Amino acid sequence: MKVTILANYAPNAYKGLIQGSDREAAIKTLFESVGGKVSGVMFTRGAYDIVVNAEVPDQAAGMGLALAVRASGSVTDLVVLEELDMKAVLAAANKAAKVYKPAG
């Protein structure tokens, strides 16, 4: 399953960055620990400090690593975006649309 992670570092984490903490290596190790693989890490300017593109074996693995990162206190905001199979989503939407009766 492909995921994109958007995050902002907490003030205490900036200290580690300034002191030379290799966050890209740490992120790769984190994903590998749940059977995943990182395809890209970008440190960004704007709404988020970092964007990670990766793959994880399943939703539990992705949410598990997100939970571990949140629990560490090193981020103030973390968003996990999961890639969707739009053909499957549209097939389900078409089935639901045939039977859904709106109010009114």
3-47 pLDDT, tens digit each: 999 999 999 999 989 999 899 999 999 999 999 999 999 999 999
User: What pLDDT sits at residue 104?
Assistant: 85
C-alpha–C-alpha distance, residues 41 and 27, integer Å? 8
**Are the beta carbons of 7 and 54 closer than 8 angstroms?**
no
C-alpha–C-alpha distance, residues 13 and 57, integer Å? 28
**Are the beta carbons of 2 and 81 closer than 8 angstroms?**
no
User: What pLDDT sits at residue 35?
Assistant: 98
57-100 pLDDT, tens digit each: 999 999 999 999 999 999 999 999 999 999 999 999 999 999 99
**Are the beta carbons of 80 and 63 closer than 8 angstroms?**
yes
Domains of the chain: 2-99 (3.30.70.920)
The structure's pTM equals 0.86
